[in-house]
């Protein structure tokens, strides 16, 4: 309405190469065309403004907007899906002050939320990993889906580190499987944590933590500059309890003290504070304060029971990048700020 009709010109090859080299904000899922369409149709920027913002020629902008119309990005059916997700992602970034957010559109129930979010997070991780990164990896349904969706690439300098100990009950989504899948797909080194996730006593933990092998593994763990993890609720149906990693009896004292989220086997309350208990003296793995020190903290979580746990992590400042589904994003934005938040 009132806009100049787009020219029918095509960019030359160097212009297309420059366009292909663009790195859109994460909420646009790596799609420069959606980015350009958003700036033009939603934010009202001129083609010249977009040219300066993206660092490409105006002719390339013209062609990108034309492609957006031709491929259905700008249409009643498809544009609504893309733009709604971008709107939610930007609202989450603004409200919680995180660096990036990617919201995966719903598909009418055709696939599981954790699979769709896992695939989107795999693409994001593939685009952000750099040679010599040390990536910490937890476990869970969504993290496993991510690990299985990683596109093979060659990043031999990357180390992928298991951040929680092992447990027989977690074999379906074990930390070992999640870490090894990612390492195998990028040609990186996998550093396993050779210890149980939960041991029988505090004394046993002290003994194991003095073993030279574990000392070295924790030293490597302390060098992580990126971490990717899921978060669980404290309900019996959540992965942490459903797999047998934690028993309902072990979790009850934490629930009684206000815990609403489980991260790497540790408990967090609604305000993002660590909830300590007897179990912590028997857990072997990265602690919440350890996680908070890692510069890039990518949380991948989806499903109707994840809004409150995600809100707790955001309140505690444990998230720099969030990847979630549309329904969870809507639920998260509808929730009130936690007490003291």
Report pLDDT digits (tens) over 177-219: 999 999 999 999 999 999 999 999 999 999 999 999 999 999 9
**Cα–Cα dist 85/65, whole Å:** 19
DSSP state of 140: S
Average pLDDT over residues 67-74: 81
Give the class (CATH, top level) of 106-334.
alpha beta
Q: How does the average pLDDT of the chain come out, rounded? A: 87
**Cα–Cα dist 12/15, whole Å:** 5
pLDDT 10s digits, 81-116: 667 888 999 999 999 999 999 999 887 778 889 999
Tell me the pTM. Answer: 0.78
- Main-chain phi, psi angles of 145, to 5 degrees: -60, -40
Q: b or e along 79-96 (b: 16 or more beta carbons within 10 Å of the residue's beta carbon)? A: bebbbbbbebbbbbbeeb
Residue 311 parent element (H or E): helix 307-316
- Mention every residue, 6+ apart, whose C-beta is less than 8 A from residue 278: 253
What is the crossing angle of helices 113-128 and 141-149, to 10°?
50
Q: Compute and round to an integer the Cα radius of gyration of the chain.
A: 22
Instruction: Evaluate if residue 10 carries a pLDDT over 50.
Output: no
Instruction: Give the angle 64-70-72 at the CA atoms, nearest 5°.
Output: 100
Q: Which has more confidence, 8 or 220?
A: 220
Question: How is residue 12 written in tokens?
Answer: 């030359």
Tokens 């992590």 correspond to 313
Instruction: Evaluate if residue 6 carries a pLDDT over 80.
Output: no
**Cα–Cα dist 243/186, whole Å:** 28
DSSP state of 196: B
Instruction: Give the angle 22-3-32 at the CA atoms, nearest 5°.
Output: 15
Do residues 33 and 67 lie in contact, with contact meaning Cβ atoms separated by under 8 Å?
A: yes
Average pLDDT over residues 39-66: 91
Do residues 149 and 119 lie in contact, with contact meaning Cβ atoms separated by under 8 Å?
A: yes
To the nearest whole percent, how much of the chain has pLDDT over 70?
88
- Mention every residue, 6+ apart, whose C-beta is less than 8 A from residue 228: 121, 125, 135, 136, 137, 138, 143, 146, 298, 300
Do residues 68 and 36 lie in contact, with contact meaning Cβ atoms separated by under 8 Å?
A: yes
Residues recorded for the chain: 341
Determine the straight-line distance between the first and last CA of the chain, rounded to whole angstroms. 43
**Cα–Cα dist 129/186, whole Å:** 10
- Mention every residue, 6+ apart, whose C-beta is less than 8 A from residue 134: 158, 159, 161, 220, 223, 224, 225, 226
Average pLDDT over residues 298-310: 93
Q: b or e along 272-294 (b: 16 or more beta carbons within 10 Å of the residue's beta carbon)? A: bbbbebebbebbbbbbbebbeeb
Instruction: Evaluate if residue 14 carries a pLDDT over 80.
Output: no
Q: Which has more confidence, 236 or 111?
A: 111
**Cα–Cα dist 70/8, whole Å:** 12
CATH 3.40.50.1360 residue ranges in the chain? 106-334
């Amino acid at each position: 309405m009132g806009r100049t009709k787009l020219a029918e010109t095509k960019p030359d090859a160097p212009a297309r190469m420059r366009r292909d080299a663009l790195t859109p904000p994460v909420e646009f899922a790596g799609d420069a065309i959606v980015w350009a369409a958003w700036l033009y149709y939603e934010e009202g920027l001129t083609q010249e403004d977009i040219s300066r913002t993206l660092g490409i020629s105006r002719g390339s902008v013209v062609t990108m907007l034309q492609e957006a119309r031709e491929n259905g990005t700008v249409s009643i059916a498809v544009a609504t899906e893309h733009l709604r997700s971008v709107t939610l992602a930007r609202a989450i970034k603004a409200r919680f002050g995180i660096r990036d957010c990617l919201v995966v559109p719903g598909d009418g129930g055709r696939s599981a939320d954790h699979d769709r979010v896992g695939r989107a997070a795999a693409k994001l991780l593939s685009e952000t990993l750099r040679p010599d990164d040390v990536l910490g990896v937890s476990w869970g349904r969504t993290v496993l889906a991510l690990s299985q969706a990683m596109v093979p690439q060659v990043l031999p300098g990357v180390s992928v580190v298991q951040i929680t100990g092992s447990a027989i009950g977690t074999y379906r989504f074990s930390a070992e499987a999640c870490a090894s899948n990612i390492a195998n797909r990028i040609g990186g080194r996998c550093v396993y944590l050779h210890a149980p996730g939960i041991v029988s006593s505090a004394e046993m933990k002290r003994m194991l933590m003095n073993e030279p092998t574990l000392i070295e593994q924790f030293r490597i763990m302390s060098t992580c500059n990126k971490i990717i993890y899921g978060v669980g609720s404290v309900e019996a149906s959540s992965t942490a309890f459903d797999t047998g990693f934690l028993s309902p009896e072990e979790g009850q004292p934490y629930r009684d003290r206000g815990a609403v989220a489980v991260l790497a086997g540790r408990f967090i309350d609604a305000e993002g504070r660590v909830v300590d208990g007897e179990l912590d003296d028997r857990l072997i793995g990265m602690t919440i304060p350890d996680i908070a020190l890692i510069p890039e903290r990518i949380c991948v979580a989806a499903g109707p029971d994840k809004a409150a746990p995600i809100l707790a992590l955001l309140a505690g400042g444990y998230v720099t990048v969030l990847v979630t589904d549309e329904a969870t994003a809507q639920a998260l934005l509808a929730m009130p700020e936690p007490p003291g938040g």
